[in-house]
């Protein structure tokens, strides 16, 4: 499905985590505003937007101020959907394309929607020789995680590897490393995939991972 350059009234799901293009995100949905959103998106085969919270909580509390969230997020498509009991949905989402919010509004029942402009996908950039260690370390880590946590649905490891591509390698490390939320958001927003991987490689070198 080819999306237009802009989307109107895109439903948003503010979370305490950052979704990267190509990433997989398991969600447990029980709030009425999101149960309705997920059902409508599933029926229409439409995406929703995942945005990282800058203030507030994922679950709304009575009397709490509205959530605050970043202006750049990622479209999420529903890859798997389960209804284990009434009032609860388990879903696995796939991150696709980044977007920038132009206008946002909160509907009466608490769901945020926004008019957004889509951000172009990362240009394909081959991992250079001096960053190959980051790709090789990622390959080893994914193999280890897959063998040790094969039955953990919450891990949501990638099914197809693209270890030759700067953006893909950088994005997967950003998901796996224990980075501060603000740094993870800044890395997701970077439009140059080579620079993103260089910054990730700096973190890996400082921590001794793969070097």
**CATH architecture of the region 6-118:** Roll (2.30)
pLDDT confidence of residue 18 = 97
Sign of the four-CA dihedral 83, 87, 88, 92: positive
Question: What is the CATH code of the structural domain delimited by 129-207?
Answer: 1.10.4060.10
CA dihedral 170, 172, 173, 176 (to 10 degrees): 160
Contacts of 20 (CB under 8 A, 6+ apart): 74, 95, 171, 172, 174, 175, 188
Q: How many beta carbons lie within 10 A of that of residue 18, not counting itself?
A: 29
Rg (Cα) of the chain, in Å, rounded? 18
Distance CA 211, CA 208 (A): 6
- Domain coordinates of the chain in residue numbers? 6-118, 129-207
Distance CA 29, CA 182 (A): 24
Residue 107 is encoded by which pair of tokens?
């509907």
pTM for this predicted structure: 0.90
Residue 20 is encoded by which pair of tokens?
């990267």
Distance CA 186, CA 143 (A): 27
| Tens digit of each residue's pLDDT, the chain (211 residues) | 567 799 999 999 999 999 999 999 999 999 999 999 999 999 999 999 999 999 888 887 777 788 899 999 999 999 999 999 999 999 999 999 999 999 999 999 899 999 999 999 999 999 999 999 999 999 999 999 888 766 665 567 777 789 999 999 999 999 999 999 999 999 999 999 999 999 999 999 988 775 5
């Amino acid at each position: 499905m080819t999306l237009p350059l802009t989307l109107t009234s895109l439903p948003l799901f503010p979370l305490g985590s950052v979704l990267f293009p190509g990433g997989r995100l398991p969600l447990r949905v029980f709030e009425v505003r999101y149960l309705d959103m997920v059902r409508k998106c599933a029926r229409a085969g439409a995406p929703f937007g995942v945005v990282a919270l800058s203030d507030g909580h994922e679950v709304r509390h009575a009397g709490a101020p509205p959530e605050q969230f970043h202006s750049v997020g990622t479209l999420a498509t529903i890859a798997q959907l389960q209804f284990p009991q009434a009032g609860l949905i388990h879903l696995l989402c796939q991150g696709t394309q980044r977007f920038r919010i132009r206008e946002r509004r909160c509907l009466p029942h608490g769901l945020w929607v926004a008019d957004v402009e889509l951000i172009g996908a990362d240009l394909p950039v081959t991992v250079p020789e001096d960053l190959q260690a980051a790709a090789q370390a990622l390959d080893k880590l994914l193999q280890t995680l897959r063998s040790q946590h094969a039955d953990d649905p919450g891990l949501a490891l990638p099914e197809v590897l693209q270890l030759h591509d700067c953006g893909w390698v950088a994005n997967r490390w950003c998901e796996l490393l224990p980075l501060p939320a603000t740094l993870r958001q800044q890395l997701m927003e970077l439009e140059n995939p080579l620079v993103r991987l260089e910054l990730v490689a700096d973190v890996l070198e400082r921590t001794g991972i793969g070097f």
